[in-house]
Amino acid sequence: MSNQQIKVDLAKCDDVNCECGNGLFVQGFTLKRVPGLLIGQPKDTYVNVDQLVCASCMKMFVPPDNKKEEPKPKIEVVN
Ligand SMILES: [Zn+2]
């Protein structure tokens, strides 16, 4: 794990658009069902996972490099 902190000026970063061309995303959730057996509980439990959804076509935004499970550095936004 890396605790590296990087300061980012968002004005210098690219905007990300959905493949439909829309640039506005809304927050959504997907749900994961955690089997009770896995956590020693009699019942299954549900965990919501934050997702970004295109506000136009409702397609989930998935960063192209999302397959790599590398620890991400903490990002501090500079105003
Ligand atoms: Zn879209």
Q: In this structure, which amino acid lies at residue 44?
A: D
- Taking only Cα atoms into account, the Rg of the chain, rounded to an integer number of angstroms, comes to 17
Other CB atoms within a 10 A radius of the CB of residue 18 amount to 19
Instruction: Supply the pLDDT for residue 59.
Output: 94
Q: In this structure, which amino acid lies at residue 64?
A: P
Q: 78 versus 26: which is more confidently predicted?
A: 26
SS3 52: strand
Q: Cα(59) to centroid of ligand 1, in Å? A: 6
Chain segment 43-68, per-residue pLDDT in tens:
999 999 999 999 999 999 988 775 66
Q: Cα(37) to centroid of ligand 1, in Å? A: 38
CB 8 within 8 A of CB 77: yes
Provide the mean pLDDT of the chain: 87
Q: Cα(19) to centroid of ligand 1, in Å? A: 6
